[in-house]
A and B are shown apart, each in its own frame.
Chain A
Amino acid sequence: MRAGRLILYVVLIFLAFVYLLPLWSAITTSLKTGKQVTMTTPIQLVLPPYFGAYKTAFSELRKPILNSLLFTTFATIFSVMIGSITGYALSKLLKGSTSKKLLMFITLGIFLPYQSILIPLLRIITKLGLYNTIPGMILTHTAYGVPITTLLFTNYYHEVPDELIEAAKVDGASPLKIYTSVVFPISIPAFVVTAIYQFTNIWNDYLFGVVLTRGEEAMPATVKLANLKGSFVANWNIQMAGALIVAIPTLFIMIVLGKYLIRGYTSGAVKG
């Protein structure tokens, strides 16, 4: 029994090494000079660390990271807000089969292979004059975020007892008033989960970014990172530094707020 536990921990720790290996070797490599990269093994950490690779990578990624931060923040806010009011309407204002059908109608978008709307999307965004713009990215990510945020909020609101809303109704509050003074405050946990989930998803996107942007005006960090691969072939230290810079926000979220992100995954969520 005791030996069994020991083996269990050994297995878990071994697996942890395996899962961390790509990240670990990225960290070590990103802190080396080009020469050190070829002279030492990728597993080895070289001291003192060399930050030149980060400097180069960051100067390349600075503007795209700002772009990503900007549109990710706004698209997160918009898609979460819309998801919340839609979820409220679907779970508390409408009942029965209408609400179920509408939910199906909206959430089918979660399983959409984006390839199948990519060409029309490019046309729509271009026609709106939003090609290669931050607003274009915000609109796109809001639109394709709504299905999942709606699902997350609807599931959450289903757990909220109807009595709570009925009590406010009896007190004479309008649905809008009920939303702002009852529903919104009690759904802060759902907002946290959904917002974190959306932020990671949008930040991590590549497909929309590569199709809807060209220059650096609106290019997301992920697209720029992919481009670095071409411009710094075999400069592994710069590539790894770039990858880690782009990974920082989501790594931070996973390590510090992982509980919420995982709740997002488990309440019926999917990755882009």
Chain B
Amino acid sequence: MRSKLREESLYSLLFLTPAIALVLVFVYFAIAWNVYISFTDWKGLIPSYRFVGLENYRTLFHDPVFWTSFRNNIILIILFVPGSLFIGLLLAVLLDRKIKFENGFRTIYTLPFALSFVVTATLWAWMYDPSDGVLNTLFSMLHLDFLKSNWITDPHVALYAVILALIWQFSGYTMVIYLAGLRSISTEQYEAAIIDGATPLQLYRYVIIPQLKKPTLSAFVVLMVFSLKAFDFIWVLTSGGPGTSTFILAVEMYKETFAKTKFAYGASIATILLLLSFAIVLPYLYWSYRGEKE
């Protein structure tokens, strides 16, 4: 028995080593290193590790571009997260009504989410092209000229255009999450509510949607974290422009680090991003860990 147990722990060690080693180096060690870099004066291609304390953070907090990025990030979160949740829920509720070709519709709505952000950014560059682009041409055709816009070349519109496209890409994902949530609610719940006298609207309002807390929360966390690290799509579509109108923290970090080679400065933005996302994720992980125990 004893030797059997020892054998088991030996094997678990063997099985766990690759994952733990990779995560240790590429996640935890890398995080620590990045934080350390943010306390140095590394600028230019040659690493330099001279310790400068909080200097980079001080500069950062006095940098208007940082605050612009921060503000844009907040706008992104405020519109993109509830927008994706709401439209995903709507799609899920519509699809959860014994629809013919449900799989077909589901595939169509989820298709955008399976694409690379580089691909979707390329598609949306064409959608938003002010002169010949898809949207403006379409609105002309439909005599909806008031909807025409300069889209991503208009600094007042660009950020919202980006958000709209991201909702297009993510609502299929939230739909799928909600659909799974809806499917886990037994049909008897629906029937009981109908017998209790609920109209379809009341059914969703009082019985179904309150039971979707869990999928909502997990999708919420995914969307929040994405809003913080969103880079590919914006970088390819607008590169943060026009001006700094679509700068968010992840874009600024990339630009400072790799375009201007201000590595230590970039590392400090990255650290802020990390703190922000852990502020969201850790309570969630704690909550779901506790939830499992119940």
- Is B7 within 8 A of A200, CB to CB? no
Residues of B within 8 Å of A229, CB to CB, are 122, 125, 236
Say which size band chain A's interface belongs to. 35 or more
Question: 12 A-B residue contacts at CB 8 Å?
Answer: A42-B132, A89-B12, A93-B9, A106-B23, A113-B250, A120-B33, A204-B119, A243-B122, A251-B114, A268-B218, A270-B222, A271-B226
Given contacts A25-B127, A119-B263, contact A89 B11 (CB under 8 A): yes
Residues of A within 8 Å of B134, CB to CB, are 21-22, 25, 42-43
Residues of A within 8 Å of B180, CB to CB, are 266
- Contact residue among B37, B91, B105, B116 (Cβ-Cβ distance under 8 Å from A206): B116
Say which size band chain B's interface belongs to. 35 or more
- Contact residue among A25, A102, A115, A207 (Cβ-Cβ distance under 8 Å from B126): A25
- Is B122 within 8 A of A225, CB to CB? yes
| Nearest CB of A to B253, in Å | 5
Q: How far is the CA of A251 from the CA of B124 in the complex (A)?
A: 17
Q: By CB atoms of chain A within 10 A, which of B9, B26, B113, B229 has the most? A: B26
Q: How far is the CA of A251 from the CA of B119 in the complex (A)?
A: 11
Given contacts A12-B99, A266-B180, contact A254 B23 (CB under 8 A): no
- Is A143 within 8 A of B26, CB to CB? yes
- Contact residue among A123, A242, A270 (Cβ-Cβ distance under 8 Å from B122): A242
Q: Which residue of B lies closest to A44 (CB)?
A: B137
- Is A250 within 8 A of B114, CB to CB? yes
Residues of B within 8 Å of A89, CB to CB, are 11-12, 15-16
Interface residues of A in 29-57 (CB under 8 A from B): 29, 37-38, 41-43
| Nearest CB of A to B218, in Å | 7
List 8 additional contacts besides A113-B229, A120-B33; criterion CB under 8 Å: A26-B122, A93-B9, A117-B34, A119-B257, A142-B22, A223-B118, A236-B132, A270-B222
Binary contact track B275-294/A, C-beta < 8 Å → 1, others 0: 00110010001000100000
Given contacts A250-B116, A271-B173, contact A116 B270 (CB under 8 A): yes
| Nearest CB of A to B1, in Å | 12
A226 sits at the interface (CB 8 A): yes
Interface residues of B in 213-266 (CB under 8 A from A): 218, 221-222, 225-226, 228-229, 231-232, 235-236, 249-250, 253-254, 257-258, 263, 266
Binding site for B on A (CB under 8 A): 8-9, 11-12, 15-16, 19-23, 25-26, 29, 37-38, 41-43, 82-83, 85-86, 88-90, 93-94, 100, 102, 104-106, 108-109, 111-121, 123-124, 140, 142-144, 146-147, 150, 174-176, 179, 200, 203-207, 211, 222-223, 225-226, 229, 236, 239-240, 242-244, 246-247, 250-251, 253-255, 258, 261-262, 265-266, 268, 270-271
Binding site for A on B (CB under 8 A): 7-9, 11-12, 15-16, 18-20, 22-23, 25-27, 29-31, 33-34, 37, 47, 91, 94-95, 97, 99, 103, 105-127, 129, 132-134, 137-138, 141, 168, 172-173, 176-177, 180, 218, 221-222, 225-226, 228-229, 231-232, 235-236, 249-250, 253-254, 257-258, 263, 266-267, 269-271, 273-274, 277-278, 281, 285, 289
Given contacts A115-B231, A115-B273, A120-B34, contact A42 B126 (CB under 8 A): yes
Given contacts A174-B11, A176-B11, A239-B122, contact A150 B270 (CB under 8 A): no
- Contact residue among B117, B129, B221 (Cβ-Cβ distance under 8 Å from A111): B221
Q: How far is the CA of A200 from the CA of B108 in the complex (A)?
A: 17
- Is B30 within 8 A of A124, CB to CB? yes
- Is A175 within 8 A of B7, CB to CB? yes
Given contacts A211-B258, A251-B111, contact A111 B281 (CB under 8 A): yes
Q: How far is the CA of A202 from the CA of B81 in the complex (A)?
A: 24
| Nearest CB of A to B33, in Å | 4
Residues of B within 8 Å of A118, CB to CB, are 34, 253, 257, 270
Q: Which residue of B lies closest to A93 (CB)?
A: B12
Q: How far is the CA of A136 from the CA of B159 in the complex (A)?
A: 34
| Nearest CB of A to B9, in Å | 8
| Nearest CB of A to B242, in Å | 16
Given contacts A19-B108, A19-B172, A115-B270, contact A38 B26 (CB under 8 A): no
Given contacts A119-B267, A254-B110, A254-B111, contact A94 B33 (CB under 8 A): no
Q: Which residue of A lies closest to B114 (CB)?
A: A254
Residues of B within 8 Å of A236, CB to CB, are 126, 129, 132
Residues of B within 8 Å of A207, CB to CB, are 231-232
Residues of A within 8 Å of B7, CB to CB, are 174-175
Residues of A within 8 Å of B22, CB to CB, are 82, 142-143, 146
- Is A239 within 8 A of B117, CB to CB? no
